[in-house]
Chains A and B, each alone.
Chain A
Amino acid sequence: MIGRRALLLALAAAPPARAATLPPATDGVVEVAPGLFVLPGVHEEASAANLDAIANTGFVIGEAAVAVVDPGGSHAHGLRLRRAIEARSRLPIRHLVLTHVHPDHVMGAAAFADLRPEVIGHARLPEALAQRAGFYEAMLAREMGAAAAGSAPLPPTRLVEDRLALDLGGRVLECRAHPPAHTTADLTLLDRASGTLWLSDLLFVERIPSLDGNLLGWLRELAALRLEPAGRAVPGHGPAAVPWPAAAAPLERYLTALRDDTRAAIAAGIGLAEAPARVATAEAAHWQLAELYHGRNVTVAYRQLEWE
């Protein structure tokens, strides 16, 4: 059980938790480093019961402003995050970072619309949103019913081509736009002060990764991110924080198996229809929700690798 073992290792290796010395938060928010907060998601599919709060979202408090990193999967989820911020800081919520296009990360943005925050995203995010937002809104209405009401992304107002330094006053978040990896428009953040790499969905822990960008690109980005000066990472799915780069290992193992087994299947003449049941199934078994996403990952990998 590689996924779970990695979690146990992560827990064992983590520095003494600050939370243990503080009164426990009643709203589920975890302060993983001073001023850097994560609201962990659950490993489920979107539903009315979980309000599509399935991804890790959070915020960073500087001396002058607050930045939200992913406003959540629904209006209700975004509102929960907003209340958590307002309970901890009276500084203005000036920035809203959308790490990528997926609905569990962006559909809560509408809950911050009245604050008119600067909305930051990858240079290719507007196109991805244009292609998919309508589809996601319909999907959320189908999965959540009335609980989806009001959920929508906000259009990015500031695009990142390569890097962007986001100054919150006495604290700079270094945003970085990646070539296609998890999706075609992934953004990560480095909080150098606390040594925290906010990887969002470039890092999955426990919950099976979903491949929607480029398999080889994702492996390349992970290898490069290992070298970043950070001892802690915030995954898009999984615990609020995990040790970095150790926590990359299970993900890299899964993606590598996906790559190698898919290549082998293509070489053996195994078709697209048969591949999902035959490729990297042993690695997939270590992850939660594998039955929902692994086959799709194989399909994406297969279509990318068959013309190498």
Chain B
Amino acid sequence: MRLHRRPFLIGLGAAALPLAAQGQEEPRRAERWADLRHALFGDRTVEDAGESLAIEAPPRALDAAAVPVSLSLAPELVPQVRTIHLVIDENPSPLAAVFRAGPAGDLRALSTRIRVNAYTYLHAVAETAEGRLLQAARFIKAAGGCSAPMGTDLEAARKRMGRMRFAMPEGAPAPDQAVPVQIAVSHPNTSGLQIDQLTRLSIPAEFIQTLQVSYREQEVMTVEGDISIAENPSFGFTLAGKPGGELRVEAEDNKGRRFTGRWQLGMAG
């Protein structure tokens, strides 16, 4: 599914550009989130998640173009939550990613790296199978991440486009033991807001739009990505299941390029 609401959300971004005075910042931020929430979820009730959905991010980003963010669900919510939306309120395209659990996976612990354009709230909204919406928020100080120059030069990045990295630092999964997995796709994931070093023209937005993870031919998770995901999109999740199977990652960017990665996961221990 395309993130079809993007043009509307970009419109909101433009409207909010003139910055309110410092004292009016909090009401303005609250209003912005109310607008975004309405754009994404209409009039549906969104409850506060309290302790059951946590967002972790550095309070002050070390690199606004690649801010590590992780999301975690309380154990009792894990079986119920099938979708999590990640929103960066003040970014030009606020809906950064939508994570969907597949039949063979869950969303108990997710991570990625995002671009952050201005001091902003991050919002995560979890949706349960029966349609409950639960929100969590975290404020983050970072600026300039969307238009920051590429971390590496674009030509080198294009040459290795599609290469994938995989890490399973705690070893292989077991049927009753979910282990952390990190995958990353080499892709410039350009935002459309960066400037070419030589021509001074904007670099067109080219970004990973969908990334699907499966294990033993069963879908674990799908991510719908956007320009707010940092260069070389990187995602962390957990995987449970019999060891010895094949983990498969299929990614597609907005230009229709497809990339595939496959790893044979060893026996546990």
The reply to whether A307 and B68 form a contact with Cβ atoms under 8 Å apart is no
A299 vs B67: C-alpha distance when bound (angstroms): 9
The answer to whether B182 has its CB under 8 Å from any CB of chain A is yes
The reply to whether A131 and B152 form a contact with Cβ atoms under 8 Å apart is no
Set of chain B residues within 8 Å of A306, measured between Cβ atoms = 165, 184, 232
Set of chain B residues within 8 Å of A131, measured between Cβ atoms = 147, 149, 195
Contact status of A269 and B169, CB under 8 A, knowing A307-B152, A307-B186: yes
The answer to whether A303 has its CB under 8 Å from any CB of chain B is yes
Residue of B whose beta carbon sits closest to that of A267: B167
Contact status of A295 and B200, CB under 8 A, knowing A271-B68, A307-B163: no
Set of chain B residues within 8 Å of A270, measured between Cβ atoms = 169
Which B40-95 residues have C-beta < 8 A from chain A?
56, 58, 62-63, 66, 68, 70
Set of chain A residues within 8 Å of B204, measured between Cβ atoms = none
The answer to whether B236 has its CB under 8 Å from any CB of chain A is yes
With beta carbons under 8 angstroms apart, the residue of B56, B151, B167 that contacts A303 is B151
The answer to whether A22 has its CB under 8 Å from any CB of chain B is no
A272 vs B65: C-alpha distance when bound (angstroms): 13
A304 vs B163: C-alpha distance when bound (angstroms): 15
With beta carbons under 8 angstroms apart, the residue of B62, B151, B195 that contacts A295 is B62
With beta carbons under 8 angstroms apart, the residue of A124, A271, A296, A307 that contacts B62 is A296
A304 vs B153: C-alpha distance when bound (angstroms): 11
A272 vs B151: C-alpha distance when bound (angstroms): 14
The reply to whether B68 and A272 form a contact with Cβ atoms under 8 Å apart is yes
Set of chain B residues within 8 Å of A11, measured between Cβ atoms = none
- Of the listed residues A135, A303, A304, A306, the one surrounded by the most CB atoms of chain B closer than 10 A to its CB is A303
The answer to whether B113 has its CB under 8 Å from any CB of chain A is yes
The answer to whether A231 has its CB under 8 Å from any CB of chain B is no
Set of chain B residues within 8 Å of A127, measured between Cβ atoms = 195, 197-198, 200
Residue of B whose beta carbon sits closest to that of A272: B68
The answer to whether B111 has its CB under 8 Å from any CB of chain A is yes
The answer to whether B144 has its CB under 8 Å from any CB of chain A is yes
The answer to whether B168 has its CB under 8 Å from any CB of chain A is yes
- Of the listed residues A131, A295, A307, the one surrounded by the most CB atoms of chain B closer than 10 A to its CB is A307
The answer to whether A300 has its CB under 8 Å from any CB of chain B is yes
Residue of B whose beta carbon sits closest to that of A273: B68
Residue of A whose beta carbon sits closest to that of B65: A303
How many A-B residue pairs lie within 8 Å, measured between CB atoms?
A: 58
The answer to whether B38 has its CB under 8 Å from any CB of chain A is no
**Closest CB in chain B relative to A218 CB, distance in Å:** 15
Chain B 104-126 interface mask (CB, 8 Å, partner A; 1/0): 00000001010000000000000
Chain A 279-308 interface mask (CB, 8 Å, partner B; 1/0): 000000000000000011011100110110
Contact status of A135 and B66, CB under 8 A, knowing A271-B182, A307-B160: no
With beta carbons under 8 angstroms apart, the residue of A130, A298, A303 that contacts B200 is A130
With beta carbons under 8 angstroms apart, the residue of B58, B70, B195, B232 that contacts A130 is B195
The answer to whether A25 has its CB under 8 Å from any CB of chain B is no
- Of the listed residues A131, A272, A276, the one surrounded by the most CB atoms of chain B closer than 10 A to its CB is A272
The reply to whether B111 and A271 form a contact with Cβ atoms under 8 Å apart is yes
Set of chain A residues within 8 Å of B232, measured between Cβ atoms = 303, 306-307
Set of chain A residues within 8 Å of B143, measured between Cβ atoms = 135
A306 vs B66: C-alpha distance when bound (angstroms): 13
A31 vs B163: C-alpha distance when bound (angstroms): 53
**Closest CB in chain B relative to A246 CB, distance in Å:** 31
The reply to whether B169 and A272 form a contact with Cβ atoms under 8 Å apart is no
Contact status of A299 and B63, CB under 8 A, knowing A273-B70, A273-B111, A306-B184: yes
Set of chain B residues within 8 Å of A303, measured between Cβ atoms = 63, 66, 151-152, 231-232
The reply to whether B182 and A276 form a contact with Cβ atoms under 8 Å apart is no
Contact status of A269 and B168, CB under 8 A, knowing A306-B184, A307-B152: yes
A130 vs B62: C-alpha distance when bound (angstroms): 22
The reply to whether B113 and A272 form a contact with Cβ atoms under 8 Å apart is yes
- Of the listed residues A130, A268, A271, A304, the one surrounded by the most CB atoms of chain B closer than 10 A to its CB is A271
The reply to whether B66 and A271 form a contact with Cβ atoms under 8 Å apart is no
**Closest CB in chain B relative to A251 CB, distance in Å:** 21
Set of chain B residues within 8 Å of A295, measured between Cβ atoms = 62
The reply to whether B66 and A299 form a contact with Cβ atoms under 8 Å apart is yes
Set of chain B residues within 8 Å of A130, measured between Cβ atoms = 195, 200
Set of chain A residues within 8 Å of B186, measured between Cβ atoms = 307
Set of chain A residues within 8 Å of B63, measured between Cβ atoms = 296, 299-300, 303
Listed by A's residue number, 25 A-B pairs whose Cβ atoms lie within 8 Å are A127-B198, A131-B147, A131-B149, A271-B68, A271-B111, A271-B182, A272-B66, A273-B56, A273-B58, A273-B68, A273-B70, A273-B111, A276-B62, A295-B62, A296-B62, A298-B62, A299-B63, A303-B63, A303-B152, A303-B231, A303-B232, A304-B151, A304-B152, A307-B152, A307-B232
Q: Which 8 residue pairs across A and B have the least CB separation, nearest first?
A: A269-B169, A273-B68, A269-B167, A299-B62, A296-B62, A299-B63, A272-B68, A295-B62
* Given A127-B197, A303-B63, 11 extra CB contacts under 8 A: A127-B195, A127-B198, A131-B195, A269-B182, A271-B68, A271-B111, A271-B236, A273-B56, A273-B70, A303-B66, A306-B165
Interface residues of B (CB under 8 A from A): 56, 58, 62-63, 66, 68, 70, 111, 113, 143-144, 147, 149, 151-152, 160, 163, 165, 167-169, 182, 184, 186, 195, 197-198, 200, 231-232, 234, 236
